[in-house]
Structure 1
């Protein structure tokens, strides 16, 4: 991991995400790309106009640059290469374009998500980025004085199209010397016997050389509840899930599990695109 993108609106939640990104940057010796998006009327300017022709635009750009300067002065960013990027529009294409432009390996985002499935960061940004991102997205809800991952829950249906995301999760776990807890949640709507479930997980990981893992078959009322309850039981440091990257997401299992988790999980959640 060489480059980490952190979208920011300079809020407390965005600050929490930046602090975690800084810890990861030091772990991986990575650079941080700090992205702020502003809804300003640049598109209304004449071809020969400049930004200074619009006082409101100039004001907000100066304000953003001042906030960037204040952030860069934070002690936790000392020794880290940080690039400031200012985009003149609030769209999710800006985040995707920034990932391609800078060859980003990981997005780290803050999230409110205190209640309600759509109460997210800024205009549901985190939930929508989770849906559409081609790179892993780490969603942070609380402030972390340290970001050590010892117990990493990887929840999946353990079908073949998740194998690539499992490899990404393994690479992440190796960086932290973490144990992966492979979790298959069984509900009344996707019932299978414990024997069948165990065999599915074992077949899924066969041929992989990563041995620091456990396998858990967990029964619950919903997949989301199963993941949250199991993660609480083992005091997991991180929850990892796979998500399809199509618009109008092809849901993880039988519902919007990845979005639901991002909203309800107090623990950090990382998503990997299938």
Structure 2
């Protein structure tokens, strides 16, 4: 990993992301690219050309000053940092910046507090996740020491997830973490029997080209099952797959979007299918 992209809006949550990114960058000798989306309003753009230039320059200078102050952190000392300010209005541009700057990871703060679905849906974080070809690490609280000893990958055993598994495994290796792969078997009408699950596990292992132990966790909803499993297993980082423009809601279709207080602040790594 050469560089890590951190979108910032100068909030405490973007500072949480920057703090974690600094620890990862220092550990792996990587640089950090800080992105601020200026978002000059349409009212500015509707003014005369001269007024537009003057006002845009004013906001640009203000943003540069705020970034300079924002980056005056002891934990960033000796880490190569680049600052980018753009007048972006759509969040797919974050992916473009990541690609252009050869960033292998996006680290982003989120203020969501009500489980996985509320964690993402409707937020700027979710908008970035839906369009990012680069894995996105979502951080919700400060981490003075970001250590990942155990990762968990929530997988629905579809064969298309095979490519995602290898990316997750690479991140587990990057963090020197033990990786647990698990499937939430929903109790009720959609419950799968032992033989059906065994076949899906066999087919999935065939698709990824290795025998990976996959744990089955029986629960009445996907979301609570994911968080309960992470809590019981002492997981430090949860990895899940997103489906592009379908968003995180597709992953959670049919689940109960309930808050799991024990893991409301669990870091989540999202990787696009």
Give the TM-score taking structure 2 as reference length.
Answer: 0.86
Structure 1: how far apart are the matches of 2:130 and 2:7?
A: 16
Query: Using a 3 Å threshold, how does the CA distance of structure 1 residues 257 and 105 change in structure 2: closer, same or farther?
Result: farther
Query: Using a 3 Å threshold, how does the CA distance of structure 1 residues 28 and 189 change in structure 2: closer, same or farther?
Result: farther
Q: Which residue of 2 aligns with 1:34?
A: 34
Q: Which residue of 2 aligns with 1:114?
A: 113
Q: Which residue of 2 aligns with 1:245?
A: 244
Q: CA deviation at 1:198?
A: 4.1
Residue deviations 1:170-198, cap 9 Å, x none? 10011122111111000124321234324
Structure 2: how far apart are the matches of 1:87 and 1:241?
A: 29
Q: CA deviation at 1:106?
A: 1.0
Q: Which residue of 1 aligns with 2:17?
A: 17
Total equivalences in the alignment: 266
SS at match of 2:134: coil
Q: Which residue of 1 aligns with 2:216?
A: 217
Q: CA deviation at 1:208?
A: 5.8
Query: Using a 3 Å threshold, how does the CA distance of structure 1 residues 120 and 254 change in structure 2: closer, same or farther?
Result: closer
Unaligned runs of 5+ in 1: none
Unaligned runs of 5+ in 2: none
RMSD between aligned residues: 2.9
Structure 2: how far apart are the matches of 1:248 and 1:12?
A: 25
Q: Which residue of 2 aligns with 1:128?
A: 127
Native 8 Å contact 1:87 1:94 kept in 2: no
Structure 2: how far apart are the matches of 1:256 and 1:220?
A: 11
State whether structure 2 residue 185 is matched by structure 1 residue 186: yes
Range that drifts further, 200-209 or 89-98: 200-209
1:81-230 equivalences under 5 Å are 81-115=80-114, 117-118=117-118, 124-187=123-186, 188-206=188-206, 214-230=213-229
Query: Using a 3 Å threshold, how does the CA distance of structure 1 residues 93 and 215 change in structure 2: closer, same or farther?
Result: closer
State the 4+ residue runs in structure 1 displaced beyond 4 angstroms.
Answer: 49-52, 116-121, 206-211, 247-250, 255-258
Q: CA deviation at 1:249?
A: 6.2
Q: Which residue of 2 aligns with 1:53?
A: 54
Q: Which residue of 2 aligns with 1:66?
A: 65
Structure 1: how far apart are the matches of 2:268 and 2:205?
A: 22
Structure 1: how far apart are the matches of 2:197 and 2:207?
A: 18
Structure 2: how far apart are the matches of 1:115 and 1:249?
A: 14
Range that drifts further, 88-97 or 68-77: 88-97
Q: CA deviation at 1:44?
A: 3.6
Native 8 Å contact 1:238 1:267 kept in 2: yes
SS at match of 1:246: helix
Residue deviations 1:217-240, cap 9 Å, x none? 111111111100000111210000
Give the TM-score taking structure 1 as reference length.
Answer: 0.85
Residue deviations 1:115-171, cap 9 Å, x none? 4855769x7110121222111111000100111111101010111101111100010
